[in-house]
Structure 1
Amino acid sequence: MNLNIAILSLLGRDTLKRIILDFKLKNIDLRSKKKMCEAIHSFGIPPKTFLRYVSELEAKAMCGYYGIADKGNYTDIIELLLREETQNINRILPDNVFPKRTISSQQNSYPGLQSSVPPVLFKNVENLGQYGCFVAIDFETADYGRDSACSIALVKVLGDQIIDRAQFLIRPPRRTFEFTYLHGISWKHVANEPKFHELWPQIHKKFEGAEFIAAHNASFDQSVLMACCQNADVSPPTLPFQCTVRLARKTWKLRRANLPTVCTFLGIPLKHHDAASDAEACAKIVIAARQNG
């Protein structure tokens, strides 16, 4: 069984390079994470061997992406993921779809990344009122630093109706772009765009009247928001976050709860890794859960 590219792409760049060098894979462009993942996928490294290369942070990234709680021994968790890969290989993301939520053991080497981001506050939708107002949010980041937001989208919902949409490109604090292959955004697209602190008055206004913020894999988007606010020296919103990964697993008992899977299940159109599409999909997941209840 070859490891699916979706799980390989959750590894950090250095980890992928180490695997390629150890297995003496030839003619691989080490500058391209996509090419490295494709090469390892084609080579077919046994899952047990693969486990030796995965760090705890990368394991947590896998758990967050697949919607699996990262409690207990991380090796056991990865073995569970790999076992599910074997049993459900045809139901996992297609090989040309790369996940957005990537954590690397390198991440503390980037300036501005805070290691002590406050924990996400989760509430259940039913406790927030069937018709309460909320804002769905999605970030795209340039590099492994959580302060490197290069795009943000916000979708405001009242009851079961979307009442406002907004999307902004952001000039991050560094020119480094690690994830252009995911979202298509590079430095040339944002070089002349406002910085986060310049956009904050417009962004902050979108939260007015909201009872909570929704995000798919909320711990990621909340930590990006907090890091960007800290870097910009502005106060973040004090609203609780609702994680739609958890919500989808609870409401529809989905074993896999990544955004493409949930959208396919609910029939929600999705252009994955486009912040506007991801945020709207997140909003529609909450609406569907409200209607389901």
Structure 2
Amino acid sequence: AAYYPASQMDVADAMQSIAANLEQVKGTDGVYIPSNPYSTLEFMEAGKGYWIEVDSPQSLVYQGTAEETRAKVESSTNSGIRVMPGSMSILARCDWAGAGDTLIAKVGEETRGAQSLIDVEGFPAALLQVFCVDNEEISLFIKTKSGALIQSENRIIGAVNAELGRYPEFMVLKPSLQSSQSPAMGIRLLGTYPNPFKHSTSISLNILEEGESPQLDIYNIKGQRVRSLNAPKGVAGPLEISWDGTDEEGRRLSSGIYLCRLQSGIKPQCIKLMLLK
């Protein structure tokens, strides 16, 4: 469908006449899914084409035009992406990444989609539009704010107009344990679940070198260490360490934000924890 009004309009306003039947709207600059807080398409632009999915045949009637002075939304993540006629959408969460890191989709060396992770519900996630053709293999990566590129073990097959993950359900990304592009260190701090948590949370690590002994330190927002979590030396592979929200004396800590810190290699690895009442 083409967008006919002469000025820019908010997607929700433009789709008002078919809102009850609207599934999603896709353009080259993002995806809009009703009631999905990770939607990336905010405005419809004059003269652009959009793919509109509804659950039954509908007649679209534009309700009016937005103010000409409304600022256009600038995209900071679509540079270098190959734009194609067809695309699919992926709603993914990545507990071992951070808000501000970028989720990237590639076919070979070609970038087909990129979107910054945001923290809306206590974990990093993004709605990623991936330009594709049917039946091609697509690889997913996380590009950290420091520039490191970490490959996910998740592999997807291109399917034009498909949705992987439908809010509030997410595709959960896992790091590739064999990625040659992963940071060089003996132990990797992957993430924690659940987070936020009330009673206990499980901290996930990956031991890359046999014999490594991980030590995790928990700090409060004042920078005071409140708990140390140790694990015996073990074989290489995944490891989970639980924390029940108590200090070294077994006393329940107050609710709030805590920092889990792992020292491995030259640079420490950290992840934010949220303890609830």
TM over 0.5: no
TM-score using structure 2 length: 0.25
* Larger relative strand fraction: 2
TM-score using structure 1 length: 0.24
Greater RCO, CA 8 A, separation 6+: 1
**Larger radius of gyration between Structure 1 and Structure 2:** 2
